[in-house]
Structure 1
Amino acid sequence: MLLLGALVGCSERDEAATTAMPRHVPLTVGIVAMAEGDLIAARDAMIGATARPYHGAVRLLTLTASERGSSLTEVSEDGSRRPITSFEGRELRAEATLAAFGRALAERPADRTAVIFWGHGRGWRGFGGRKEGYRLIDGSFEQALRALQRGLGRKIDMLGFDACLMGSWEVAEIAAPYASVLVASPELVPERGWPIDRALESLARAPAKSAADLAERFVTPFADAGRRYVSLSAIDLEAVPEVERAASELARAAVAQDLPLDPAWLEGVLRYRDQGAVDLGELSAAIARSAPSPSLRERASALGDAARRARVARSCRGRHCDALGLSIHGVHALGDGGYADPRARWNRDPAWAGWVAQTRRSVSSLPQTSRSTPPYALVSPQPKDPRSHP
């Protein structure tokens, strides 16, 4: 049996009610769907689509939010919804709410646990709705994951973001201590989001054999989720330290050799719709092809190899489907005002911060026409998407 727990559009509340211990099942999944305004209808449609019997193999928990608070319900094996408890008067972003939800999932024991956040995504800048009370992750991403893990009592097997732009290197770094695999898109996500019901049907027929297998069941059907370009990747968070080391070594080598990033190196590199974001894998490959220094090319190749080893699965349609599917903001994104954000990759790593400073000095000496071309200018505005960051 598969156990699905869903935390949907939340406000902070009290403890989850204790119920009789259900029987052990292969999987617990929690969906954190934060919705207000334009996403409420899409959220409700998602909840309705996932509330199915799944041949008695899925137990679904939903935590839905309103202006008054949140209520926790369970979808029974026959597909009906049964209220469990409500959390009155708090916002979702309080750690107590997420810890309580983690305990509710833990009370329904399973071999594996997945948590999926649903709503507006903003990459490293945050996650959540436009209203303050619906912002779960806005400078407090790590605290939120820590609270969930504390309530659950162990690491989350799969952390997913059914939201735009959350497939970024910054998100992967922050999530690494709390989950085994990250599933997220560096691109915009269609309003209806992932085909979660299809993944659950697959898992109901054959339980996941590993965290990677679990993630792949959600990733595989995503290519059909939108009419235009879509991308969804599963990243092995256990491999994050190796990628971190390779990225730092690349930046240190560039600084030591006084080699600021040359715009010509990035010709043809996949740029995502989030301004200033490029694919980490393609960035590495471009530097490995174009950098004048053999040692810099070698370190860029090592970073690309580490990034490829970190990818568990990818679903893509439209373009660059051999890319990693994980975005990064860095020395190529100097036109993005977010370079000063302490949560951004280059400001958490002294080596990357040094490369940024070096490249900025180089850019300031260029003619104005050179400074207005990528990667130093903002990416051209993209069509607005209902699930794009607020």
Structure 2
Amino acid sequence: MSAKTKVSIVEDDINMRKSLEFALSEYEEFEIKCFKSALDALKKMPEDTDIVVTDINMPGMDGLAFAKELAGKYDIVIMTGNATLSGAIESLRLGVRDFLTKPFDADALVAVLRKVRDEKPASKAVKIIENPSDNEPNKSAFFGSSPVLEALLKTAKKAAVTDASVMINGQSGVGKELFARFIHENSPRSSAPFVAINMAAIPENLLESELYGYEKGAFTDAIATKKGLFELADGGTLFLDEIGEMPANLQAKLLRVIQERELMRVGGSKTFKINVRIVSATNADLSGKIKNGEFREDLFYRLNTIPLNVPPLKERKDEIEGIASSVLKRVSSSYNLGTKKLGKDALKALLAYDYPGNIRELVSIIERAAILSESEEISKSDLGI
């Protein structure tokens, strides 16, 4: 039997809290802990929690401040009885995975929990990096090296010095965002913002406002004008991850923005110029989507000026040892695990494995092995593959 998903529920209303705990107790796949406030959760919540489900409106520390405190540590689901568009967008900026509007039934919550558990994202829905050069600069972000990687980076460097649109194709977990960052870092725009959005992680009804922004009064909760991601990326690079998941009804507007280099905020009446370089990525078969009428052919050609096809890790095995060693060093240092190293049998097993989850899976394997291994040398049995 697979391990239970550990869920922490943070809700100040005792009746709601008990109701959720009772409803989820009927599902053996979940292990539930409940907390009456964000401050209580911060003190007592188990470190091995998988998903945090939190209310927004709570005394002491509200759900958004709580989500900001937990950002990057846990998968977060927001629930609220007073959902607003601006609040939902702010949640997504913090990396919140989903949100539920009260009242909702147990089936709706279970569906969201399963989705969050089973669909681990490559990144938060939105990343805004004001000074990219301070983060993962240049080739060092790739850890390992291989002839395939060297050829890809050579193409990426040629593309970087231009403003041509680049489309990065590859399976989930191959490092598509790293290539997008590499292109930005090696471009004349490197000192400007790098903004990334995961199209598959943004609900359709929020995506337009997230990309283009909105004017004050555009809808009930628009109490102030808000810039969209295109504006935030002005002068820099906008990375549209999972572009194949963009709803068909929004593709025409994106095409116009790319062609005209101007946009209009939601609820606005005037257009204004923008200066943004577009890099997109997909693991979908866009040619099939075009044939099925799910993706615009003219948009595809606008985005696919320079294609960058990233093979899966099983075709780049020269990189495995370098990636594994780098991750092992980082994890050992972060958790004071001493000087951990890979044994010969472990390295042989790593090189023989096919990695359906690609680099993301390799990183997870090494992190787990480093933490759970009883000895200084990581053995094949520690890897769990």
Q: TM-score, normalised by structure 2?
A: 0.33
Q: Which has the higher helix share?
A: 2
Larger radius of gyration between Structure 1 and Structure 2: 2
Larger RCO of the pair (alpha carbons < 8 Å, separation 6+)? 1
TM-score, normalised to structure 1, is 0.32
